[in-house]
Structure 1
Amino acid sequence: MTHRSPLTVAAVELAPRLRELGFTADGIALHLGPAATDALHRGEPGAVRRRVSDSSPLSTVIRWFLLRDTLPDDLLADVLGPRVLGLLRDAGAAGATTSGSRMLIDVRPHVIAGEHRLVFSDFDASMTEVIPGPDHVLGVGAASLSLLGSAPLSPVGSVLDLGTGSGVLALAQAGCAGSVTATDVHSPALDFAEATAAAAGLAGKIIFREGSWFEPVVGERFDRIVANPPFVVGLPEVGHVYRDSGLDLDGASELVVAGAPEHLTDGGTAHLLAAWVHTPAQSWQQRVASWLPDRGIEAWVLQRDVADPELYVGTWLRDESLDPRSPEAQERTRAWLDHFAEHDVTGIGFGFVALREIGDRPTEVTAEELSQPFTDPLGPEVEEYFLRTAWLRDRDAAEVAAARFRMRPGVAREQVSLPDTEEGVGFSPAALRLTRTDGPRFSHDVDEAIAAIVAGLRPDGLNLEETVGLFAVSRSLDEDTLIEGAVAAVVDLVRHGLLLPADLTEES
């Protein structure tokens, strides 16, 4: 088998030896203890070094790979084996010094899609002073972790990882996909990605292609697309290839969101990270919707965060290890903010875009805020969301009224009261909410009538219309008016998964 670089050969032989030594995320945590493990994650090498001052093999590899110490060759050869050490040197992953050898790249253990994996990339600034260069290849960053949690891991035929970087998303998808195609415009990134896949024993399952955007897959379609593109919003220039696209403002996100639909199979899905500008001329929802075709796509766009231009620029300058107080950073700040001002940018939104191919139907776009905190993976929710909306799409109001439903387990009824300002004492009701305690924690304000009707719905009981009729009779209310409001409320509750259609749960 032909490899892109000698690093792949080194990765194949290095990985099993490191597993034997316990150089995994769990093994390192157990070896260091909770406090030093937290220090490792915070980037505090001094606290970690105190825990690995012994001569054990695991301490040795932690010092060499994670703390980036220079160690004697005889010690490294004894722990890793002379052949592995030689392969790392031949691949340019390790370099000789007068006192031994030191690592020149990052080899770090992670848990990816529930599996212990090694990820190969360039050094970051976590353990040593490093300023990422223009060609820097990122390891497992915050954006990668976000998309790992929001992309489904259910069985699928073919997957495209657009802009794979060090191969993290391809690695996750390879465990559930029949085939994975990983592309990147940056050749060193593909070298790292192939090594990452080889260390996991998955090199043969992932096809690596070099090229810009969708060029390497022209005319091809996939069951699932994942993409963490260089979405940083700024000037049309490439300062760092892993984050800057060379396209103006949010052009990279537009390109990926607009281009993904034509590469989806029937019923295929895309799961993308994206950023978009906020301007007075249009809402952010309208802006993202304008990137999509008129027909054939259902889109769920979730804005997780919004930053003002000043905060946004400062954050990304720190990302490249620039001191905001330095003359260079101040000049960069001025140019960046001037560019935003010229285009009336008042904020920059960031979030997830999930797309599903729906055939020859008008495109449907739901764009909403998802600012509430949650820790559950979003991937399963996205898949269920598309099932729920497909159910709604196929039914009119009368059919919704004739359906049976069940409440999602764990939905909480919340009564919110505020101080009674009229009486001056006590509390008065202010809101009644139904809130999910799982997934993305969606919450809906309802009135007492809707809350009572929803509470009476059972998959083996009365349908919605019958439940509303019973409630209307008991309260002497107009049934027609009540059913109209109940159907509208139930549609919203189904869309966010607080209520589940009985026939949908039976099918699943």
Structure 2
Amino acid sequence: MDTTTAEHLRTALTRHRYTTDAVRELLGTGAHAALGRGEVEPAYRAARDGGELGVLVRLLLLGSVEPDAAVAAALAPLSPADAEAAGLLRHVSGGTVDGGWAAALDLRPYGVDDPDDPAEWWVLSDLDSRRQERDHVTGVGGASLTLASATDRRPVGTLLDLGTGCGVQALHATRHAGAVTATDVAPRALALARATFALNGLDVELLDGPWLEPVAGRRFDRIVSNPPFVPGPARVDYVYRDSGAAGDDALAALVRDLPAHLEPGGVAQLLGSWLHVRGEDWPDRVRSWLPPGVDAWIVQREVADPALHVGTWQRDAGLDLTSTDARAQAGAWLDWMDSAAVEAIGFGYLVLRRTDGTPEVVVEDLLTEVADPLGPEVAGWLDRVDWLRAHPDLLDTRLAVAPQVVLETFSTPGDEGWTDAGSAVARLDGPRWRHEVDGPAAALLAGCRGALPLRELLELLSFAHDRPVDELVAATLPAVRELVRHGLLVPA
């Protein structure tokens, strides 16, 4: 898409308020929700009397063929012929009297719903009708949204979006990075990302090539990546999801290589999937990929058995799972899983930071639903690790229970009513971390109000419970570190 075409298209989309809020308002709550479920007809009906915005919605979002005159009015000053030359539209004959136009690409509004700092863009990607093409370029999908919501958005100088696809992560990056570089191995993805950036008037450096080859010898303050992470046989059915390496080998290589492209203190955030292999501990598997000098927080969000994993990604590709070809593909995939002794497949986030200190490596599960974006939690985790590294002797620190932390108690029924069965401290924000505690631990946390150092609190607890101080210290410090890492205890 050349500069003039991008400017003319941007003028049209801006004039008719082709934005997330305006489209939602036009469709109404019910039809907009139905569209999110893939039900097009309610949205089409709601957009019938929507004027030129309705034409854009029907044409670009709903797959409708619209008359030449209506499209020309909605896209002016961009002519339908120029939109066709740019690959956005295709002419359809035999419809309306004056001819008709249909979308050749998916062009949709996408925004950051933040009342304090909103943002609005337009994203170009492939239509669902191309889902089974090898070079299909996905749009704003679940994986893109997952990574975007989990990214630390604090300002940085340079940022690399590795495997940019249609450019979603790079769009976000332009809001908090001084210079953004995006790479991809797929020419079609680079073309659509380039068009997306031009349409939004953004300056992003685009480089062609696999993995880290295009940025050899360069370092960045931040790297984000939604790589082709779907474990399976060593093949590439779809460029956006398949690495060409067997299993999780490509992810392992990327984790080993990424830190060398980070500035000191630089952070990489990526999505990934790893194998649960029979007779092997999955956290040890992922830890083994880490090079020296790297803080790492690896969070497993989902676990799927092989059949569910294969079926999920076949549905994602739009395959008919009952077809001969799909069954043959599934059979080969499951045979490979059997041969590799794969019992399950994990999916989650990886946060890596280059450090000169003693590395902090945490691998854990977070399998419950998380309502809040994880980006602030990632930033908080990194800061809390820094604080712990700077305060190796916690006994001299003053700590306080975070404001959004509560003590829960639970009981079990018995012959004489309810019997106390235990208690836990839990965060009511972010990932809702929860830790079970016994009576002395609950008493210690009650005393963490920032007034006394931890040493004095443990001495008081020792007296109250008639337990040696050394014994309490040995039992308490690891738990306190974990509570600090999870944000339940904060420096006073």
Same fold (TM over 0.5): yes
Correspondences of 1:7-406 after superposition (within 5 Å)? 9-54=4-49, 56-98=51-93, 99-112=99-112, 114-124=118-128, 131-202=131-202, 204=203, 206-293=204-291, 295-359=292-356, 361-396=357-392, 399-406=393-400
- Distance of 1:382 and 1:78 partners within structure 2: 46
The RMSD of aligned alpha carbons is 1.6
Does the alignment pair 1:501 with 2:472?
no
User: Once the two structures are superposed, what CA deviation does each residue of 1:390-427 show, in whole Å capped at 9, x if it has no partner?
Assistant: 2222333xx2011001211110111011223xxx3422
Aligned partner of 1:117: which letter?
W
Is the 8 Å Cα contact of residues 360 and 385 (structure 2) preserved in structure 1? no
User: Are the aligned partners of 1:450 and 1:489 in contact in 2 as well (CA < 8 Å)?
Assistant: no
Query: Quick one: which of 455, 461, 466 aligns to 1:471?
Result: 461
Q: Shift of residue 255 of structure 1?
A: 2.2
Query: Aligned pair in 2 of structure 1 residues 324, 463: CA closer, same or farther (>3 Å)?
Result: same
Quote the Cα distance in structure 2 between the aligned partners of 1:465 and 1:218.
50
Provide the C-alpha distance between the structure 2 equivalents of 1:16 and 1:438, rounded to a whole number of angstroms.
41
Describe the shift of the 1:156–1:260 C-alpha distance in structure 2 as closer, same or farther (beyond 3 A).
same
SS at match of 1:346: strand
Q: Residue 33 of structure 1: SS of its match in structure 2?
A: helix
2: CA distance, partners of 1:256 / 1:390:
25
| SS of residue in 1 equivalent to 2:346 | strand
Question: Residue 57 of structure 2 aligns to which amino acid in structure 1?
Answer: I
- Give the aligned residue type for 2:125: S
The equivalent position to 1:483 in structure 2, one of 468, 473, 484, is 473
The SS at the match of 1:229 is coil
Partner of 1:505: none
Q: Given that residues 401 and 449 in structure 2 are in contact (C-alpha distance below 8 angstroms), is that contact kept between their aligned partners in structure 1?
A: yes
Q: Which residue of 1 aligns with 2:437?
A: 446
Structure-2 separation of matches of 1:468 and 1:314: 53
Q: Which amino acid aligns with 2:434?
A: S
Amino acid at match of 2:44: R
Give 1:297 deviation, angstroms.
Answer: 0.3
Name the SS for the 1:406 alignment partner. Answer: strand
* Distance in 2 between residues matched to 1:117 and 1:474, nearest whole Å: 60
Q: Deviations over 1:133-184 (max 9, x none)?
A: 1110011111101100111111011000000000000010111001011000
Match of 2:452 in 1: 462
Unaligned runs of 5+ in 1: 503-508
2:417 to 409, 415, 426: 426
Cα contact 2:12–2:77 (8 A) shared by 1:
no
The secondary structure found in structure 1 opposite 2:66 is coil
Q: TM-score, normalised by structure 1?
A: 0.92
Which digits, 9 at most, give the CA deviation of each residue in 1:256-288, with x for residues without a partner?
A: 211111101000000010110011232111111
Do the aligned residues in 2 keep the contact of 1:304 with 1:371 (CA within 8 Å)?
Answer: yes
Contact map agreement 1:418 1:428 (CA 8 A) in 2: yes
Alpha-carbon contact 1:9-1:87 (below 8 Å) kept: no
Letter in 1 for 2:127: F
How far apart in 2 are the matches of 1:426 and 1:25?
54
- Bigger shift: residues 112-121 or 18-27: 112-121
Give, in angstroms, the shift of residue 85 of structure 1: 2.7
Give the secondary-structure state (helix, strand or coil) at the position aligned to 2:35. helix
Deviations 1:317-370 (A, max 9, x none): 1111112111111111111000110110111000000001112x4543211101
| Cα deviation code 1:290-333 (max 9, x no counterpart) | 1111x210110000001000010011111111121111111111
Q: CA deviation at 1:123?
A: 0.5
Please tell me whether residue 407 in structure 1 is matched to residue 401 in structure 2.
yes
What TM-score does the superposition give when structure 2 sets the normalisation length?
0.95
AA at the equivalent of 2:373: P
Instruction: Determine the C-alpha separation between the residues in 2 that align with 1:200 and 1:224.
Output: 22
Which one is further off, 102-111 or 485-494? Answer: 485-494
- The one-letter amino acid paired with 2:289 is W
- The runs of 5 or more residues in structure 2 that have no matched partner are 94-98
Whether contact under 8 Å (1:472, 1:478) holds in the other structure is yes
Aligned AA (2:400): R
For 1:102-142, what per-residue CA distance to the aligned partner results, in whole angstroms no more than 9, with x for missing partners? 11000011114741111100012xxxx65431110011111
Larger displacement relative to structure 2 (12-21 or 257-266): 12-21
CA shift in 2, pair 1:84/1:258, >3 Å: farther
Mapped contact 1:10–1:84 kept (Cα < 8 A): no
Cα distance in 2, alignment partners of residues 310 and 500 from structure 1: 43
Percentage identity across paired residues of the two chains:
42
Deviations along 1:234-255, whole A, 9 cap, x unmatched?
1111111111111111122112
Residues 217-238 of structure 1: per-residue CA shift (max 9 Å, x gap): 0000000000000111111111
Distance in 2, Cα, partners of 1:245 & 1:112: 30
Measured in 2, the distance between the counterparts of 1:163 and 1:40 equals: 28
Cα distance between partner residues in 2 of 1:211 and 1:46 = 41
Partners of 2:279 and 2:7 in 1: CA distance? 53
Counterpart residue identity of residue 328, structure 1: D
